[in-house]
Amino acid sequence: MPLVGTGEIVAPAARGGYGVGAFNVIQLEHAEAIVTGAEAAGVPVVLQISENAVRYHGGLAPVGGAALAVARAAAVPVAVHLDHATEPALVAEAVRLGFGSVMFDASALPYAQNVRATAEVAGLCHASDVWVEAELGEVGGKDGVHAPGARTDPAEAAEFTARTGVDALAVAVGTSHAMLTRTAKLDLGLVAALRAAVPVPLVLHGSSGASDETLARAVAHGMTKVNIATHLNQAFTAAVRDRLASEPALVDTRTYLGAGREAVAREVAHLLGVLTAPRPAVATP
């Protein structure tokens, strides 16, 4: 199955009312596990590489090239996405490498500057047929749109989307990045209102903090792209710890990293089942 653009995965999901799993890649094992899980579920998937992961590897090309190679070898459609990029130069590099989409995050800027910067990036990306996600957030919050208590206004979101020309919008409805418990309370009424007001697919960041039931309900109310990172890292780390604890003399990294890879693959398959399960439509307000 060839590498595909993110829009080729997200657009049908938005029309069909089901979710798309977008999972973060830190090491090669993550990319392999995510694709294995998607193949087991029989559905498309998005591999995401964050700006933080780029810093960890000292550049985008090593981890980006690996993710692209894994995607090209997959038996299901796979897109590769740059997540939470704050620097236009990094966006341009992702476009050159062949990424299908980028998420440009100018949410820490005042609204007018966010609009201007995002519109410029969208123009650059669209010239190369690259799909663009953006974020509408709070000024001053280090977590941007996901600062505690942040909520996205539907009218402002509609205006932002029209003025920037982005293809998808990350919105604040009650999740937060890096949650270690799945206890987030989503404002599902706001999700439905945003879906009615915003003409592009909605993206849920910080989804590791949402339970399976909450994720399913979020999709039913209008979310399409669902980003998950920390939850998979928990599964990976727990499996590695268990394997090392059971074999104290173990030194072969393939053995314990392989256990982590298998755990992530199982969890990805499960989560994709949650996101793509048929569900009744929810009336918009």
**Predicted TM-score of the model (pTM):** 0.90
- Of the listed 83, 105, 143, 167, which one is catalytic? 83
The per-residue pLDDT for 130 is: 97
- Where helices occur in the chain by DSSP H, the ranges are 6-16, 28-41, 51-57, 60-72, 88-97, 111-126, 154-164, 188-197, 212-221, 230-246, 253-276
Instruction: Give the whole-angstrom CA distance, residue 129 versus residue 163.
Output: 19
The per-residue pLDDT for 147 is: 58
Burial class (CB in 10 A: 0-12, 13-18, 19+), 285: exposed
Per-domain boundaries in the chain: 6-276
The per-residue pLDDT for 160 is: 95
The per-residue pLDDT for 179 is: 58
83 counts as catalytic = yes
The per-residue pLDDT for 226 is: 95
The per-residue pLDDT for 140 is: 30
Instruction: Give the whole-angstrom CA distance, residue 140 versus residue 110.
Output: 9
Q: In this structure, what DSSP letter does residue 254 have?
A: H
The per-residue pLDDT for 153 is: 87
pLDDT along the chain (285 residues), means of 10: 91 95 96 98 97 96 97 97 95 97 90 94 97 72 54 91 96 66 71 94 83 88 92 95 95 95 97 84 54
Residue 69's Cβ-side half-sphere holds a number of Cα atoms within 13 Å equal to: 8
β-bridge mates for residue 21, sequence order: 226
Asked if residues 129 and 161 have their Cβ atoms less than 8 Å apart, the reply is no
β-bridge mates for residue 45, sequence order: 78
Asked if residues 179 and 200 have their Cβ atoms less than 8 Å apart, the reply is no
The per-residue pLDDT for 275 is: 95
CATH for the stretch 6-276: 3.20.20.70
